């Protein structure tokens, strides 16, 4: 009789062990997914930093053309530096759009038990990304509509 109880207890124990094992595997799989997503995000950020290097080079060339326009009144230099500025602003806008997307995802994925500080800072990150996006849109509008007005500067 004792052996029958032992076998039933063993079966229950095996079931519990298997259940815990499955829960741990599911948790590890979820963690692997989270880790893979974070790795993908950093890989995209690497590309963004490379794009920023090209933006820096384009802005340096744009400044050179702007100085040429100021010194020599070369209209071709003026038109080219303004086009470069517009393209740089558009690329920066796309980058900030990506950051808004990431920030929104972070807000959406906040855990219910997240601290109030984490919730506040995550929401603040989204707000700042949106403000950068708005500033970028305004700068694109200004650059696009001030094609011949030299008195309007950009940030």
Q: Does 150 map to a domain?
A: no
In a domain, 52, yes or no: yes
In a domain, 107, yes or no: yes
Residue 139 near residue 81 (C-beta atoms within 8 A):
no
- 93-126 residue pLDDT tens: 999 998 999 899 889 888 888 899 999 999 999 9
Instruction: Establish if 153 belongs to a structural domain.
Output: no
> Is residue 60 pLDDT above 60, yes or no?
yes
How distant, in Å, are the alpha carbons of 24, 38, 108, 109 from that of 32? 12, 10, 19, 16
Query: Has residue 155 been placed in a domain?
Result: no
Report residue 76 as tokens.
């071709």
Domain assignment of residue 128, given as a range: 2-145
Confidence of residue 16 (pLDDT cuts 50, 70, 90): low
152 found inside a domain: no
pTM: 0.69
Q: For the segment 27-53, what is each residue's pLDDT rounded down to a tens digit?
A: 555 566 667 777 888 888 888 899 999
Answer for the pair 119, 110: CB distance below 8 angstroms, yes or no.
yes
In the predicted structure, residue 147 carries a pLDDT above the cut 60 = yes
Place of tokens 């929401």: 123
- Is residue 23 assigned to a domain? yes
Residue 36 is assigned to a structural domain of this protein = yes
Number of structural domains (the chain) is 1
């Amino acid at each position: 009789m004792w052996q029958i109880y032992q076998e039933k207890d063993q079966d229950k124990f095996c079931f519990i062990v298997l259940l815990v094992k499955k829960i741990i595997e599911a948790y590890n799989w979820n963690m692997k997914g989270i880790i893979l997503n974070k790795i993908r995000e950093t890989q995209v950020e690497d590309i963004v930093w490379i794009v920023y290097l090209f933006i820096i080079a384009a802005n340096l060339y744009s400044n050179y053309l702007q100085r040429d326009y100021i010194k020599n009144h070369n209209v071709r230099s003026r038109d080219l530096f303004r086009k470069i500025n517009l393209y740089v602003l558009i690329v920066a806008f796309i980058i900030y759009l990506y950051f808004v997307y990431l920030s929104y995802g972070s807000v959406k994925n906040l855990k219910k038990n997240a601290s109030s500080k984490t919730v506040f800072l995550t929401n603040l990150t989204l707000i700042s990304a949106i403000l950068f996006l708005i500033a970028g849109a305004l700068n694109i509008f200004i650059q696009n509509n001030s094609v011949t007005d030299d008195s309007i500067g950009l940030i």
